[in-house]
Every structure is written in C-alpha cells, then in structure tokens.
Amino acid sequence: MTQVILKQAKIIDPSSPYHNKVMDIKIENDTITQIEKEIAAPSGFEVVNISNLHVSKGWMDSSVSFGEPGYEERETIENGLKVAAKSGFTAIALQPNSNPTIDNQAQVRFVLDRAKNHATTLYPIGALTKGSEGTDLAELFDMKNAGAIAFGDYKKALQNANLQKIALQYVQDFDAMVIAFSQDSTLKGIGIANEGAVSTKLGMKGIPALAEELQVARNLFLLEYTGGKLHIPTISTQGSIKLIKDAKAKGIQITCSVAVHNLVLNEEVLMGFDTRYKVSPPLRDEATRKALVEAVLDGTIDCITSDHNPLDIEHKKLEFDLAKDGTIGLESAFSALLTVLPMEVVIEKLNAIKRVLNLENPTIATNNQAAISLFTTTDNWTFGKENILSKSKNSAFLGQKMKGRAIGIYNNGQLIINS
C-alpha cells in the first residue's frame, strides 16, 4: 500500500464537505485518514505537489476494449489498465469483443484474474448472445455470478426483437442490465459515414440517422413492455436524444451514453479521408454535435465514454471503406471534454456509470476508501503521438487542442502518476 499526501489539491466532489476547497489529503492503507489545510509529511510518505492539482471521485469509463484474449497485438489487459490509470480512470467496463468472446463464466473469470492487483479496477461486460452473433442468449446468470456487471454485444445491434424482449425479461430475475447498441443493419447497409453533405461530397455511402433512431425507438418500446433496465450506449443523433428524453419523462428506466469523439468532432474531419475518424456510430454534422453537448448539459445523456477501441495498423491504415471502425480514447478523454464542457459536468458524467450500475463511489472524506482521480484544468496543449500510451495508435484526437490534463489516480492502495 502506497502512503501518500496530496498537497494543495482542489477537491471537486459535491457530496464532500470539502467541495471546492483547496486542502492537503493524507492517505494511509487505502483510506483517507486526514484532510486539512496543511499536513506535514511523515517519513515514508510519497508527496504529490503539482501546480493546479484537482481531485475528484474516481472516474469510470463505461466502454473500453482491450483485445486480450485473442487480439493481444491491439492491447493487453495489463498495459490497458496502466493506460487507464495514467488517464485518470479508477475503473473501466471491459467490452466482450475479444477472441473468444466473453460469453461464459470462464471468460469472465479469465479477464478478472488478469486484472488482479492493478490500480484500475476492471468490470467485465458479458456478451448478450453467444459469440455476440445475435442468435441465442449467452449464459447471463452464470456470468453475473462470476462478476459480469451488464450484458451487451459490442457495436452489434440485436436485430431479433423477440430475443431482445426475452433478454430484458430474463435479467430482471437477477437485477441485471442490458446494453443495447442501436443501429438497424439493413438501413446502415454498406454505409461508412454520416449521410449528409460531407458523405455526398466525398462519394461515401451514407449511414442515415434513421438507422439509429428506428432501433432506439424499438428498444424503448420493448423496454416499456417488459420493464427492467436498459442502457443505450454511444447515441449520436438528435432523434435519439428526443426519443430518450420522452421515455425518461414517462418514467421508463432508460440510461444512455455518448462517446467523447461525437461530442468534440464533427463529420468535417473526414474531408481528408483519414481512417482514424472512422467510428461507429459515425461522426455527425455540427448541429448534431452541439445538440449532443446540450443533451449532456440538460441530463438527457447520463454518461460519457471514451469508447476506447484499439486497432492495429493492419486494420486501420486501409482505404476508408475497408478500415475497421474505432478510435482509442482513454488518454485524450478528459482533456478533450474540457474543450466543450464545464469541468464539473465532465467529472459528473465520468462518474455517472457507477450510479447506473449501483457500484460503490466513495466520497472524498476522512475514513472513506481512497478512490481518487487527479487532474489539472488550466493547461492548454495539443495531443500528439508522444501522448499515446496504448499499444495501438489509432487516435482520432491527434493534433487536437486540449485543455487540462489527467495526472493519474490513487486507487486500490496504489498511486499511479502519468509522468
């Protein structure tokens, strides 16, 4: 256990009696033992003294892919968790899109075992269907008992409405949540970019907003029929925002997230045919980007995710229509968000998935467990290759202006600093 004193840290935690105060924080054996204006550093303590240091409850990313097992060339669990820690995340939810797919209790236990003794806590998402193929439900109850926190097929919409209905009904027996990526595959077709002026100019096959909205509407109807809890990840259209807002007004238990890149970037970046910007759902127009930011501010969108998806160069540096969808995002998430949202909102939305999943989220107060993210807010800088910590380098944020920096975390008795 690392014994630490955080010097002159501004505490951003509305649930804490020290919210918005600049304090010294003493951490011993994974517990906050003292918070005072000034604390002398005893021998054996590591002192963190950084200009403009801020701390908050530890952030959690609701959608992270690593690759292991099967795609270790993209990212390993060990290095991925180190990247997450240095990017300010005390916890991540791991997507099941490995090889083999995380669709049974043995696979859940494997990734949990690989994540032991790391500063960042890993929570596995189990595949909703066997092999994420959309045909038969996976071993949901067994995976829940093994440690899976929710169930969904990464970037694959369940086209079978009856199977979606059965899943929503079944998981209520053990208080689990279904994650439903929403995109009608027949409407998407061979589309590779947002349907609009830019895709027309570039001669790219478009993906209409309707492809997402039709599936969102269907899934909300199913949820209203079955009851239970549903999370719709990475929404990207104005129609989806309205549908979810209306459903929440009805009292339906629906939550949703948006990806950092859909909040910060728009389809104009595709003009250079750079496949780093090929993501799913696609980057939309500027009016939609602004609408997504507003939906974060008004609470319609519950969570923000980096939607971190490492891909090796063989799958990314190709013609645009052949390249795989996805960007890494852990390293850039916090600083990119500060360019479009107030700092307090960013912190809240990076914490929100814990509330959605009923996970512990200890307040920054004495005698509480220390699960803390460390960051600054005033730095202005440009994200470059030297800032990429992941094995894969497919970042949509290279060359983007950034604000503030994720410094690291204290979690699970360990201090990790991005030096």
What pLDDT shows up at residue 52? Answer: 96
What's the confidence (pLDDT) of residue 41? 86
* CATH 3.20.20.140 intervals, the chain: 60-356
What's phi and psi for 379, nearest 5 deg? -60, 140
Pairing of strands 414-417, 401-411: antiparallel
What is the model's pLDDT at position 397?
Answer: 98
| Other beta carbons within 10 Å of 31 | 15
pLDDT of residue 419: 77
pLDDT in tens for each of the 419 residues of the chain?
Answer: 789 999 999 999 999 999 999 999 999 999 999 999 999 988 999 999 999 999 999 999 999 999 999 999 999 999 999 999 999 999 999 999 999 999 999 999 999 999 999 999 999 999 999 999 999 999 999 999 999 999 999 999 999 999 999 999 999 999 999 999 999 999 999 999 999 999 999 999 999 999 999 999 999 999 999 999 999 999 999 999 999 999 999 999 999 999 999 999 999 999 999 999 999 999 999 999 999 999 999 999 999 999 999 999 999 999 999 999 999 999 999 999 999 999 999 999 999 999 999 999 999 999 999 999 999 999 999 999 999 999 999 999 999 999 999 999 999 999 999 97
What pLDDT was estimated at residue 372?
98
- Architecture of 60-356 per CATH? Alpha-Beta Barrel (3.20)
Q: CA triplet 380, 384, 390: central angle to 5 degrees?
A: 120
- Reference 13, options 415, 350, 407; nearest CA is 350
pLDDT number for residue 1: 73
Q: Boundaries of CATH 2.30.40.10 in the chain?
A: 4-54+366-386+394-417
Helical packing angle, 286-297 and 343-356, nearest 10°: 70
- Burial of 117: CB neighbours in 10 Å, binned 0-12, 13-18, 19+: exposed
Distance, in Å, from the CA atom of 208 to the CA atom of 280, rounded to the nearest integer, reads: 12
CB of 110 closer than 8 Å to CB of 79: no
Q: Which residues contact 324 (CB under 8 A, 6 or more apart)?
A: 278, 311, 315, 316
Q: Name beta bridge partners: 408.
A: 374, 417
User: Residue 244: phi, psi to the nearest 5?
Assistant: -70, -40
pTM given for the model: 0.96
Does 274 qualify as catalytic in the annotation? no
**Regarding the domain delimited by 4-54+366-386+394-417, which CATH topology (the fold level of the hierarchy) does it fall under?**
Urease, subunit C; domain 1 (2.30.40)
The residues pairing with 305 across neighbouring beta strands, listed in sequence order, are 259
How many Cβ atoms sit within 10 Å of the Cβ of residue 361? 18
- Residue of 30, 307, 312, 325 with catalytic role: 307
